[in-house]
Amino acid sequence: MKLWLIGAYGIVSTTTAVGGIAIEKGLVDRTGLVSELPQFNSIDDYVKLNFKFGGHEIRDLEGNFYSAALMHWEKNKHYDFNILNEVKNDLKNIKARKGTALMCGTGIEEFGEIKTLEDDELSLREIVDKIEDDMRRFKDNETVVINLASTEPVHRFNKKYHESVDGFERMIDEDEKKYASASMLYAYAAIKNGIPYGNFTPSVGSSLPALKKLALENKVPHVGNDGKTGETLIKTTLAPMFLYRNLKIVGWMGYNILGDFDGKVLSHKDNKESKIISKDSVLEKILGYSPYSITEIEYFPSLVDNKTAFDFLHFKGFLGTKMKFYFIWDGIDAIVASPIVIDIARFLLFAKKRGKYGVIKEMAFFFKSPMENRVINTHEQFYQLVSWFREML
Amino acid sequence: MKLWLIGAYGIVSTTTAVGGIAIEKGLVDRTGLVSELPQFNSIDDYVKLNFKFGGHEIRDLEGNFYSAALMHWEKNKHYDFNILNEVKNDLKNIKARKGTALMCGTGIEEFGEIKTLEDDELSLREIVDKIEDDMRRFKDNETVVINLASTEPVHRFNKKYHESVDGFERMIDEDEKKYASASMLYAYAAIKNGIPYGNFTPSVGSSLPALKKLALENKVPHVGNDGKTGETLIKTTLAPMFLYRNLKIVGWMGYNILGDFDGKVLSHKDNKESKIISKDSVLEKILGYSPYSITEIEYFPSLVDNKTAFDFLHFKGFLGTKMKFYFIWDGIDAIVASPIVIDIARFLLFAKKRGKYGVIKEMAFFFKSPMENRVINTHEQFYQLVSWFREML
Amino acid sequence: MKLWLIGAYGIVSTTTAVGGIAIEKGLVDRTGLVSELPQFNSIDDYVKLNFKFGGHEIRDLEGNFYSAALMHWEKNKHYDFNILNEVKNDLKNIKARKGTALMCGTGIEEFGEIKTLEDDELSLREIVDKIEDDMRRFKDNETVVINLASTEPVHRFNKKYHESVDGFERMIDEDEKKYASASMLYAYAAIKNGIPYGNFTPSVGSSLPALKKLALENKVPHVGNDGKTGETLIKTTLAPMFLYRNLKIVGWMGYNILGDFDGKVLSHKDNKESKIISKDSVLEKILGYSPYSITEIEYFPSLVDNKTAFDFLHFKGFLGTKMKFYFIWDGIDAIVASPIVIDIARFLLFAKKRGKYGVIKEMAFFFKSPMENRVINTHEQFYQLVSWFREML
Amino acid sequence: MKLWLIGAYGIVSTTTAVGGIAIEKGLVDRTGLVSELPQFNSIDDYVKLNFKFGGHEIRDLEGNFYSAALMHWEKNKHYDFNILNEVKNDLKNIKARKGTALMCGTGIEEFGEIKTLEDDELSLREIVDKIEDDMRRFKDNETVVINLASTEPVHRFNKKYHESVDGFERMIDEDEKKYASASMLYAYAAIKNGIPYGNFTPSVGSSLPALKKLALENKVPHVGNDGKTGETLIKTTLAPMFLYRNLKIVGWMGYNILGDFDGKVLSHKDNKESKIISKDSVLEKILGYSPYSITEIEYFPSLVDNKTAFDFLHFKGFLGTKMKFYFIWDGIDAIVASPIVIDIARFLLFAKKRGKYGVIKEMAFFFKSPMENRVINTHEQFYQLVSWFREML
């Protein structure tokens, strides 16, 4: 597998790279990888767990995957240092390519000094050409692009440029930068070049009608949006039980705190909005009604990547009596996200090899806001994934 | 529906009676009733929500369902007093019949003065005759017996008396009281008289081979054991997610506190053992391995029936990193249990009317230790129930 | 004691009235009353626990203390209904007088239809005259005014009108309504008429220099601001320990949810600001440094008056290692606030009888933002109260 | 300072040694050290923060302080590895001396192979001689002995041997091993040789009348028992607030889980008993009454030294209404204990230099069950410590 990661020097990307290589080398076991469950046993006949990495970045372009991984490790110590040490040589020769941050909102300021293609006064067409060129040099038949960049502000749909492939091309040719966000450009470049694409963020990515059409034309599988990892994973596991038991949720509070760049970017109102929308709609989809709900994400620097969620459920049972349920999720974002990144890439390659393309909606299990699939109940999603996999064989 | 409740003056029985009648009178909505979900819409064609109640008891035999309901309400205020007031006349004429507490362990001491059939120096045959007589006077075609009595100590199987129907009859005739526990006598009486039987407790009830055979012979549906209501309901809803995501549980602590008679009885070691076994085995059944686990129940008088559970999950993810999850369940036992009592009775009657008998293993959804069904994942159990119901129509 | 309560039909006022009368009648014990601790034994020689109530209100002026108390009880069931029933006759004859809501912010909209003196097109002088008149008709030597109205927006100080007694009078005479908030008018009316005044809210109340001077001139004791009842009470109890043990707080999250009118009013940004400032400054005062901190209050309707706080402390210990502490406060606001209202009135009357006046800064124990006292550590505050009381005897 | 640590290769001892040396070398700051608070500024004139370590041990006698520290670090990663690396040379030359495990209960089995003086078939007198000899070779004027060994079973007092110094000597001479526990022998050896002694465990240590008398005769200061570090520290900080506010605790549940040797030893009933008694009595001492209370400690291997406590407080307020408070302590035992070990040693040396001897009861702040001091309220204890220190200057 060759993974091209957007946001290559972020903590999720580098943890994915460290983990992928460590697994290939037999340094660690495969805990956390869904594709390694007995149900998906034969996936290994299609997509082996061997890895090459590359990607786009806008920070620290002097550095490499190792220096970036080390920086995150120093702040988080989120796995045994020996592992990082053992993959050092594999990582230090991998350098990210300069990318774009178009329409990425004010949150981007938090990264300090950044370098983007648009800063070099390139036109949209030139930016896209550069991105495609980078991807083409990297790609082979086993390549996937995964978007792991920070959350963009909510996308404003423009019929003229976002509806059709032609419109999208025209947007590029007319250099209409204000309609083009980074995530859609990367998705476009991948799909145009026949590379499966996964959107791990709530950014727009490949969800534009234009790009969905392009994926069908080019027979490219793609998935998204927004990796389901922490609080929402628990929420979509628990909420169905209240439905089954005919217990009425009268209020659900979800309060998330995290530090790190992710927390900093999300402390910007425009960037946060996308995330909240993605998290917030799950209850209505599961329960069939919208209980009063609070969904908040706040910056808490000392936690760094240790995302903590505080949830409170107020529910009504028999005879109208109210009862309470509380949970605290004390997870490490990169540790829960990274194996899923590998899984998404692996299932996308499996789909490709089995001749599937367009939105692979049976991969909803991995996402908070799965494209073209209203199933959000974690259990139902898992069954969908298992059944689909069986059918594909 | 006519419900004959063992432990008739307990908080679950009386709350079931109050709730059943309040629903029939349209005083409250049907929140908490699984059988009222859209999926089971047509159950109403088979079993209507109208109610008569009766049962066996060993306490306060001068009282009635109303005085017992009032006593529990005074201590718990677990629903709006107006509801109790409006069903007062319906309840105050219902008196429980004197029952048995054979082999019920030391926990029974907590009830203070009790009156049992065995205290009247009756033989086992005479006790069984009395019980059958009470049930026969009450029963019609829509009657179900539900065991809501306190948890008995762990049952010790005796091949001679428990294996076959003949053996069981012989035990009664030979007056072998030390092999006969209350729950199996009630189950025997019900099944012998063609009345569906549900065991809401971890006591042995109808799980004896002898009684299973009798149920097949007499074409009587029965189910059990141990209503899945609080902490275990959450546990069996959450644990599957860790499995799907290939996250390894390295420790699970479950610490339950409750007051009331249930708490008092369970503070007796012999009675507690049954409960712990029932709760403790669920993780292995779901995960396929047994993580280090703590399952405890302790008496905490000020909570009365407000059962509170503290759970801590320690799990290992990608790269071997450990993470944490905590939950607190702050429920009211009678409020979560009572609607399920009605559901169990209703689905049993539905089964009977559709010609089903023996253990209705598709009703596992309602139990911690379902008979003849290893499926313990709440989601899978719900799908089983829904599919079975559809097939039965 | 005669308590004149601003916001007379609110849940804290009515619960105070119910509780005060119930204590006087011997219906309930004195749990929750600080002034009933052995340390303050002899306070009974100065101020007995007998009660008369009155107050100002802007809602439901057709009603009375009983109808208001009943309305809150129906929503909260926060104490045994029998108590309310037994004080019914005492309460139903007490009617609040029409008050003012000047400069009370947009939160006031939440009350629906309100009636205020300013709606009657009265001048500031006429409003003040009416208020004073109401208080004078009620008062005797044992009367205290307590402000229990909703939180006003942050007060903007005006040197001309707020610095001196003369300036304040000029503001009234010049009908400068935009500089006059309700809480300061009530405080002025009380102090001018020699009635001790306690400010249970974060509103400005008697903290204006002008009113502090008036209190000294008229020899009236007064205290405030913002009753310390729930999360802040715990915070100011716990934080000192981290100081004593030289453990460094690196982050403190405090997230509060509540329903009811209080929650609704605080969901207005202008009104919330005062509250947050009051809550937020306590850590710096205790620790001597300002850790990263989150202090939020959000509306959560199903909880009604059941205020719930979620706190997370991240702290650094020996060798720089970070550790965690979580707490959940599940309290009922009126139940924790009401006894303190009685205590504040009682200690103010005690102060008056012992010849004390001006800000009684030794009563800091009862407040989040005590006037003229930087001691915020709950323990130190308690010792101050005890020592002061002893000295006063 | 020279610290002679009983249980020298345990996690608290080795973390104390790592931390002490790291502080001396300026590698880390002094967070966690009470004696470094501004209130105790001048302690540096009496006792500087420079360190030498030694001690008794019964495990791994081939190893040294470094190998022991490394073993604990590997399992816990409880501080930055670089710190350990930088003190490696200081630690690897320190070897513990073989000690005794007399009357240490069944928990000792958990350590696997151990080597004790009694295994060498020495008499009590010979054991004591060896221990004294080890201490004498190490000691100077700035030496303290601190007991950090595992908790012993509850001590059974014997008037003949434990009441007087003569009796104690006789017990040794008569080789009455069953009346002599390890902790009292170490305490005896220290006090006899004029070395201040601190008991960080609930074991009997120097609390015997005989040893208290010896300490007075030899003018040696000593303190204990049982370092107050985690749940009990919080409990004794919080409980006073409920007292001050006249809120009645109706139930307090404290459930502690931990792994490591400490957890293993405490999973032995005889060893656990001492701990529970020490933890359990604090509420009565603070509140003046004994609320219903649960205090439990259970082994939870995956947590290793990460001690986690779950507490639930049920309390009654105004009008008899019950409310709830929950907390979770997620601390690392060695990290909270080690700085206090240094503080205890330092204040003992300060006491000695200021001519104080016998039980230094003003050091209660550091202990769960302070000798000769009923003050258990953390705040009051801190004031006592501060006042005593000021007086001593």
* Vertex B60 angle, CA B57 and B61, to 5°: 65
Find the helix packing angle between C378-392 and D378-392, rounded to 10°.
Answer: 70
Question: Which residues in chain A have Cβ-Cβ distances shorter than 8 Å to C308?
Answer: 312
Query: A15 and chain B: CB distance < 8 Å anywhere?
Result: yes
Q: How many residues does chain D have?
A: 393
Per-residue pLDDT for A271 more than 90? no
Query: B231 and chain A: CB distance < 8 Å anywhere?
Result: no
Tokens 């309290």, residue located: C331
Q: What is the mean pLDDT of residues A124-145?
A: 97
List C-alpha distances in Å: A27 to A21, A47, A53, A339: 9, 20, 18, 15
Residue D299's DSSP bridge partners are D258
| Chain-chain contact of D325 with C234 (C-beta, under 8 angstroms) | yes
Q: Which residue of C has its CA nearest to D331?
A: C323
Residue A293's DSSP bridge partners are A252
Band (A277; pLDDT cuts 50, 70, 90): confident
Query: D319 and chain A: CB distance < 8 Å anywhere?
Result: no
CA distance D384 to D381: 5
List C-alpha distances in Å: B30 to A374, B22, B74, B350: 27, 10, 24, 19
Closest Cβ–Cβ partner in B233, B317, B331 for A336? B317
What distance in Å separates residue C83's CA from the closest CA in chain B? 14
Per-residue pLDDT for C109 more than 90? no
Among C305, C306, C322, smallest CA distance to C314 is for C322
Which residues lie below 8 Å from residue A23, measured CB to CB, with a gap of 6+? Answer: A30, A33, A49, A51
CA distance C117 to C126: 9
Report pLDDT for B110.
Answer: 84
What distance in Å separates residue B249's CA from the closest CA in chain D? 10
Question: Which residues in chain C have Cβ-Cβ distances shorter than 8 Å to A257?
Answer: 253, 294, 312
Q: What is the DSSP-derived secondary structure letter of residue B86?
A: H
Per-residue pLDDT for D279 more than 80? no
Selected for mutation to probe chain B from D248, D252, D267, D292 (highest B CB count within 10 Å) is D292
Question: Which residues in chain B have Cβ-Cβ distances shorter than 8 Å to D328?
Answer: 326
Q: Which residue of B has its CA nearest to D293?
A: B300
Report pLDDT for C51.
Answer: 98
Question: Which residues in chain D have Cβ-Cβ distances shorter than 8 Å to C29?
Answer: 320
Report pLDDT for B270.
Answer: 78
Report pLDDT for D307.
Answer: 95
Contact C232, C378 (CB under 8 A): no
What distance in Å separates residue B242's CA from the closest CA in chain A? 9
Residue C98's DSSP bridge partners are C57
Q: How many other CB atoms are found less than 10 A from the CB of residue B109?
A: 12
Please give the backbone phi and psi of residue A216, each rounded to the nearest 5 degrees, phi first.
-65, -45
Band (C123; pLDDT cuts 50, 70, 90): very high
Contact A21, A51 (CB under 8 A): yes
**pLDDT tens digit sequence for B29-75:** 999 999 999 999 999 999 999 999 999 999 988 999 999 999 999 99
Query: D91 and chain B: CB distance < 8 Å anywhere?
Result: no
ipTM comes to 0.95
Query: C328 and chain D: CB distance < 8 Å anywhere?
Result: yes
Among D213, D91, D102, D87, smallest CA distance to D149 is for D102
A93 prior amide bond cis, ω within 30: no
Q: What is the mean pLDDT of residues D43-63?
A: 95
| Terminal alpha carbon distance of chain A | 20
Question: Which residues in chain A have Cβ-Cβ distances shorter than 8 Å to B244?
Answer: 34, 37, 365, 378-379, 382
**pLDDT tens digit sequence for D79-100:** 999 999 999 999 999 999 999 9
Q: Considering the domain A231-332, what is its CATH architecture? A: 2-Layer Sandwich (3.30)
What distance in Å separates residue C74's CA from the closest CA in chain D? 15
To the nearest whole number, what is the mean pLDDT of chain B? Answer: 95
Q: Which residue of C has its CA nearest to A310?
A: C310
List C-alpha distances in Å: C378 to C47, C375, C382, C385: 25, 8, 6, 10
Residue C197's DSSP bridge partners are C145, C222
Report pLDDT for B15.
Answer: 98
| Chain-chain contact of B303 with D314 (C-beta, under 8 angstroms) | yes
Residue C308's DSSP bridge partners are C257, C330
What distance in Å separates residue A191's CA from the closest CA in chain C? 43
Q: What is the mean pLDDT of residues C11-23?
A: 98
Q: Which residue of B has its CA nearest to D316?
A: B302
Query: D298 and chain B: CB distance < 8 Å anywhere?
Result: yes
Domains of chain A by residue range: 2-227+335-392, 231-332
Task: Work out how many CB contacts closer than 8 A connect B with D.
Answer: 50
| Chain-chain contact of A320 with B80 (C-beta, under 8 angstroms) | yes
| Chain-chain contact of C292 with A301 (C-beta, under 8 angstroms) | yes
Sign of torsion, CA D7 D11 D16 D22?
positive
Report pLDDT for B155.
Answer: 85
Band (B273; pLDDT cuts 50, 70, 90): confident
Report pLDDT for D350.
Answer: 98
| Chain-chain contact of D32 with C330 (C-beta, under 8 angstroms) | no
**pLDDT tens digit sequence for C186-227:** 999 999 999 999 999 999 999 999 999 999 999 999 999 999
Query: B26 and chain A: CB distance < 8 Å anywhere?
Result: no
CA distance C207 to C186: 12
Band (D262; pLDDT cuts 50, 70, 90): confident
Query: C75 and chain B: CB distance < 8 Å anywhere?
Result: no
CA distance C221 to C197: 7
List C-alpha distances in Å: D319 to C89, C291, C317: 18, 37, 41
Per-residue pLDDT for A268 more than 90? no
Among B153, B37, B18, smallest CA distance to B80 is for B18
Report pLDDT for D281.
Answer: 81
What's the gap between Cα A10 and its chain centre? 12
Number of helices (H), then strands (E), in chain A: 15, 11
Tokens 């004031």, residue located: D383
Band (A361; pLDDT cuts 50, 70, 90): very high
| Chain-chain contact of B314 with D303 (C-beta, under 8 angstroms) | yes
Chains that touch D (3 or more CB pairs under 8 A): A, B, C
**pLDDT tens digit sequence for A50-89:** 999 999 999 988 999 999 999 999 999 999 999 999 999 9
Contact A84, B320 (CB under 8 A): no
For β-strands D2-6 and D322-330, DSSP reports them as unpaired
Please give the backbone phi and psi of residue B53, each rounded to the nearest 5 degrees, phi first.
-125, 150
Report the range of poorest mean pLDDT among A224-228, C259-263, C371-375: C259-263
Among D252, D260, D377, D380, smallest CA distance to D327 is for D252
CA distance B243 to B235: 12
Find the helix packing angle between D165-173 and D209-218, rounded to 10°.
Answer: 110
Indicate if A231-332 has the same CATH topology as A2-227+335-392.
no
Report pLDDT for A212.
Answer: 98
Chains that touch B (3 or more CB pairs under 8 A): A, C, D
Name the helix (H) or strand (E) containing C277: helix C269-280
Query: B364 and chain A: CB distance < 8 Å anywhere?
Result: no
Contact D20, D144 (CB under 8 A): no
Query: A289 and chain C: CB distance < 8 Å anywhere?
Result: no
Question: Which residues in chain A have Cβ-Cβ distances shorter than 8 Å to D330?
Answer: 330
Question: Which residues in chain C have Cβ-Cβ distances shorter than 8 Å to B77?
Answer: 77
Report pLDDT for B319.
Answer: 97
Per-residue pLDDT for D35 more than 80? yes
A225 prior amide bond cis, ω within 30: yes
CA distance A323 to B337: 13
Task: Annotate D159-190 with DSSP letters as a single string.
Answer: HHHHSSHHHHHHHHHTT-GGG--HHHHHHHHH
- Give the up-direction half-sphere exposure of residue C194: CA atoms within 13 A in the CB hemisphere: 9
Continuous H helices in chain B? 11-24, 65-76, 81-86, 88-92, 124-138, 159-162, 165-173, 182-192, 209-218, 231-244, 260-266, 269-280, 282-287, 333-353, 378-392
What distance in Å separates residue A311's CA from the closest CA in chain D? 14
Q: Which residue of D has its CA nearest to A79?
A: D77
Reduced to 3 states (helix: H, G, I; strand: E, B; else coil), residue D357 is coil
**pLDDT tens digit sequence for D126-163:** 999 999 999 999 999 999 999 999 999 988 899 999 99
Q: Which residue of C has its CA nearest to D329?
A: C325
The CATH number of C2-227+335-392, from 3.10.20.440, 3.40.50.720, 3.30.70.20, 3.40.50.620, is: 3.40.50.720
Task: Work out how many CB contacts closer than 8 A connect B with C.
Answer: 5
To the nearest whole number, what is the mean pLDDT of chain A? Answer: 95
Task: Annotate C152-205 with DSSP letters as a single string.
Answer: PPPP---HHHHSSHHHHHHHHHTT-GGG--HHHHHHHHHHHTT--EEE-SSS-G
Which residues lie below 8 Å from residue D28, measured CB to CB, with a gap of 6+? Answer: C319, C320, D19, D22, D83
Reduced to 3 states (helix: H, G, I; strand: E, B; else coil), residue B242 is helix
Reduced to 3 states (helix: H, G, I; strand: E, B; else coil), residue D158 is coil
Superfamily of domain D231-331: Dihydrodipicolinate Reductase; domain 2 (3.30.360.10)
How would you class D253 by CB atoms within 10 Å of its CB: exposed for 0-12, middle for 13-18, buried for 19 or more?
buried
Among A237, A363, A334, smallest CA distance to B243 is for A237
Query: A328 and chain D: CB distance < 8 Å anywhere?
Result: yes
The beta strands (E) that lie in C58-181 are given as 97-98, 143-147
Selected for mutation to probe chain B from A40, A308, A318, A328 (highest B CB count within 10 Å) is A318
Query: B77 and chain A: CB distance < 8 Å anywhere?
Result: no
| Chain-chain contact of D320 with C29 (C-beta, under 8 angstroms) | yes
Question: Which residues in chain B have Cβ-Cβ distances shorter than 8 Å to D300?
Answer: 251, 253, 292, 294, 314
Query: C85 and chain B: CB distance < 8 Å anywhere?
Result: no
Name the helix (H) or strand (E) containing A318: none
CA distance D119 to D126: 12
Closest Cβ–Cβ partner in A253, A310, A322 for C300? A253
